[in-house]
Structure 1
Amino acid sequence: MNGILSLISKLDVVIGILIKPIVIILSASVAVMMAYGVITRAILDQPVFGLEEIVLMCAMWLYMFGAVLASRERSHLTADFIQVVCKNTSVIKFFHLLATMISLAMAVMFSIWAYDLLDWALRKGQSTTVFHLPWYISQSSLFVASVLFIFYLIRDFFEDLNSFLSRKTA
C-alpha cells in the first residue's frame, strides 16, 4: 500500500506544478476580462460582444481546477458530524473510510456522465455564437476534473484504509 501512496505522491507533485499556474493565469484573466467588460459597457457605453464566451470558457476551467486543488488538499467542505457525536477513533476512522468510498463511487458516476457529455459535444460540433469556439472546450473541463477527483479519492481511500487498519494494530 505504501508503494501505491508513494506513486500517487509523485504524480500529485506533477499535477500541482501543472495546475497551480493555470489557476493563477485563469483567475487573473477572468478578473481582467470582467473588469474590461464592465468598464467598456458602463463607462464607455460600448459592450464587447463575445467577451462572455471567453469568460465562460475560462471560468469553467477555473472552477473545475479550483475544485481539484481543494480535493488535492482535502480542504473541500465536509460535514464531519460523526466527530461531534462520537469520540471513538475507530468509529470515526471507519466513517472517514466509508465517506471516501461513497465519494469515489459518486466521482466515477460523475466521470462517466462527463465523458458522455464530452463525447456528445464532440459529435455535435456545437460552437459559441460570436467567436465560434467549440463548446467541448468548456465541457471537457468537467471530464478532466472528474478524472483528477478520482485520482485524489483513490489517494484518500488508501490513506483512510491505512489509518483504519493501523488503529487495529496499535
Structure 2
Amino acid sequence: MIDTSRGNNMKAIVDLFASIDNAIALFMKVAVSVMGIFVSFAMVVGIVSRALLGIQVFGLEELVLTAAMWLYMLGAGLASREKSHLSADFVEAFSSNETLHDVTRLIATVLSVVMAVFFVTWSYSLFAWGVEKGQVTPVFSIPQYISQGSLFVASILLFLYALRDLIHDAGKLFIKG
C-alpha cells in the first residue's frame, strides 16, 4: 500500500501558501489602484489650484510622496510576483539549448536572491533608523518611517518571490520529468 498522507500534507501546505499569496496579491492590487488614483487626483488638484487658482495646497506633496512610495514599491512586489519585471534573457536569443537556458535562469535567480537579502538588510536599517530618529513631515507630521517602510515591505516581497523562483528553477533543472 502506498502512503499518500505525506503527499496530501504537502499539497495542503502548498495550497495554504497559495491562498496567503493570493490574499496578499489582492490587497496589493487594491492598494496600488487606490494609491494610483489618489496620486493622479492629488497631482491634478495641486496643479490646477496652483496654476489656475493661485492657491497653494500645503501638505499635498507630503501625501503624494508617501502614497507614491507605497505605490511604486507595492507595484514592484506585484511585478516580481507575476514575473513581469524587466529581464535580459539574451542567452535564449543565442542558443536553443534548454539546459543552458535553465542553468542561466538558475544563476540569475540565485543572484536575485542574494541581492534581495542585501535589500532586506539595507531597507530594514533605513526603516529602523527612521523609527529611531522620529523625523516627521513639516505640515502633517507624518512619520518618515511610513514611507521608508515601503522599501522594507517591498524588499521582503522581492526576497520571497525570488526564493519561490529559486525553488522553481532549481526543481526544473534538477528534477527533470
TM-score range, shorter chain: over 0.9
Task: Give ranges in structure 1 of 5+ residues lacking alignment.
Answer: none
Query: What is the aligned partner in structure 1 of residue 86 from structure 2?
Result: 77
Query: Does residue 114 of structure 2 align to residue 105 of structure 1?
Result: yes
User: What is the DSSP-based 3-state SS (H/G/I as helix, E as strand, rest coil) of the residue aligned with 1:36?
Assistant: helix
Query: What is the aligned partner in structure 1 of residue 4 from structure 2?
Result: none
Whole-Å separation in 2 of the counterparts to 1:15 and 1:132:
29
- 1:131-158 alpha-carbon deviations (Å, 9 max, x no partner): 1111001000000111111111111111
Amino acid at match of 2:43: M
Aligned residues: 168
For residue 12 of structure 1, report the CA deviation from its aligned partner: 1.5
Query: What is the aligned partner in structure 2 of residue 116 from structure 1?
Result: 125
Query: What is the aligned partner in structure 2 of residue 165 from structure 1?
Result: 174
Whole-Å separation in 1 of the counterparts to 2:30 and 2:66:
17
| Partners of 1:5 and 1:158 within 8 A in 2 | no
Identical positions, percent: 44
Whole-Å separation in 1 of the counterparts to 2:100 and 2:86:
21
User: What is the DSSP-based 3-state SS (H/G/I as helix, E as strand, rest coil) of the residue aligned with 1:49?
Assistant: coil
Poorly superposed stretches of 4+, deviation over 6 Å: none
Name the TM-score, length of structure 2 as normaliser.
0.90
Whole-Å separation in 2 of the counterparts to 1:106 and 1:166:
26
In the TM superposition, 1:50-61 aligns within 5 A as 50-61=59-70
Amino acid at match of 2:113: L
For residue 81 of structure 1, report the CA deviation from its aligned partner: 0.5
Whole-Å separation in 2 of the counterparts to 1:29 and 1:151:
28
Name the TM-score, length of structure 1 as normaliser.
0.93
User: What is the DSSP-based 3-state SS (H/G/I as helix, E as strand, rest coil) of the residue aligned with 2:175?
Assistant: helix
Query: CA RMSD, aligned part only?
Result: 1.6
Query: What is the aligned partner in structure 2 of residue 90 from structure 1?
Result: 99
Amino acid at match of 1:139: Q
Query: What is the aligned partner in structure 2 of residue 48 from structure 1?
Result: 57
Bigger relative contact order, structure 1 or 2 (CA pairs below 8 A, ≥6 apart)? 1
Radius of gyration: which is bigger?
2
Whole-Å separation in 1 of the counterparts to 2:167 and 2:14:
7
Task: Give ranges in structure 2 of 5+ residues lacking alignment.
Answer: 1-9
Amino acid at match of 2:71: L
Q: 1:160 to 1:154 in 2, by over 3 A?
A: same
The partner residue of 2:36 within 7, 27, 30 is 27
Whole-Å separation in 2 of the counterparts to 1:149 and 1:162:
20
